Amino acid sequence: MGTKRMVEGTIIPGEACLIIEDVVTSGSSVLETAQVLRKEGLNVTDAVVLLDREQGGRARLEEDGICLHSVCSLSRLLEILHDQGKLDFDMVESVKTFIRTNASVPVNEMINGSAEQLHNQSNVKTHFKEMSYCARAQLPATHPIAAELFKIMEKKQTNLCLAADVTNSKELLQLAYSLGNEICILKTHVDILDDFNSDVVTELRAIANKHEFLIFEDRKFADIGNTVKHQYGGGVYKIAQWSDLVNAHVVPGPGVVKGLKEVGMPLKRGCLLIAEMSSEGSLATGDYTKAAVKLAEQHTDFVIGFISSSNISGRSEFVHMTPGVQMQIGADNLGQQYLSPEEVINKRASDIIIVGRGILSAKDCKIAARMFKKAGWEAYQKRLTSAKN
């Protein structure tokens, strides 16, 4: 008060200064403090907060070069209270929905205020604000499963999904165990296993937890809501009990999502909509793709993103996964069209490369997986770097 200075004490220009706050919502308070400190010549790169309300603050701070370290996030606090029996599931989901739909700062707002994305993928990166996986995990509109996935990708430095389309359970488990450190997602087709039993998915779930990757059962649901509900939750495979993610065609309309959601939401699962396919002559284009995006936007409490050949939504909270990836662009004799990691991640701004035969047919699967992991991550870093320039 006496000196009327905003900052008291001995200041050495260039010295690092840590900001400590109780709660971060939009990040405005931290940014205002950082501005004052920087004017005094101090270097502000980090802030510590007790609670992150997950309403855009972390992403906004990252854009300003400040890394936020939180003791706890609001979503994690809700999970703890739910686990302790203090809040029921409906209340937890109600609060999460409120947080997602009431971001103080729309950090993921599209350039020119438009959420429309051009299908010509060479210009994809110019239509939205480029953000790191870590920052996207903190966006208020990001689904919890998508947030977990983004964090895994950042931690393990991988955007590789292994398409383990094998017919033997032992081979599936061996692939999961040996390549688990290289991937963020393992894509399965349990309905092609000749020797499926419940022990297989129990062991697969344990491997996924140990190596920190998500399981994605490539079921491609495409029936009426009541039918997919039973296909997802029951039957021989009981997919909802062990798979983090599933996917669905949008041909049946919103009923397919509603049916899956009834089973998946209480189990904290997520769904990807098939908006584009990598096969030659696919009909999943144009209006069909637009309809998939619209359906996803109507069900953000369960749909986390898309199977697509590019970034089709321009929304940072959605995950875009692209199949048919090889080191070189090309095609096979059955119409499967291949794209390279550079084309998919950097040029088309997708998030995850799905690789099957490029790894499974290699002499050394582990070396091949590491090669794809490295190529995918380098393409991602290149995309971030070019966005800053």
Q: Which residues form the catalytic set?
A: 220, 223
- Taking the C-alpha atoms of residue 327 and residue 378, their distance in angstroms, rounded to an integer, is 13
**Contact predicate 217/200, CB 8 Å:** no
Taking the CA atoms of the chain, what radius of gyration do you get in angstroms?
Answer: 22
Q: Roughly what angle, to the nearest 10 degrees, separates helices 254-264 and 225-233?
A: 30
Residue that the structure tokens 């101090």 belong to: 42
Q: Which residue has the tokens 């393409």?
A: 379
The residues with which 161 forms a beta bridge, in sequence order, are 185, 354
Cα distances (Å, whole numbers) of residue 50 to 36, 47, 70, 74, 100: 22, 10, 6, 10, 20
Cα–Cα distance, 191 to 276 (Å, whole number): 22
CA distance 331 to 32: 54
The number of angstroms, rounded, from the C-alpha of 212 to the middle of its chain's C-alpha atoms is 14
- Pair 172, 193: CB distance under 8 Å: yes
User: How far is the C-alpha of 253 from the C-alpha of 200, rounded, in Å?
Assistant: 33
Phi–psi pair at 54, nearest 5 degrees: 60, 45
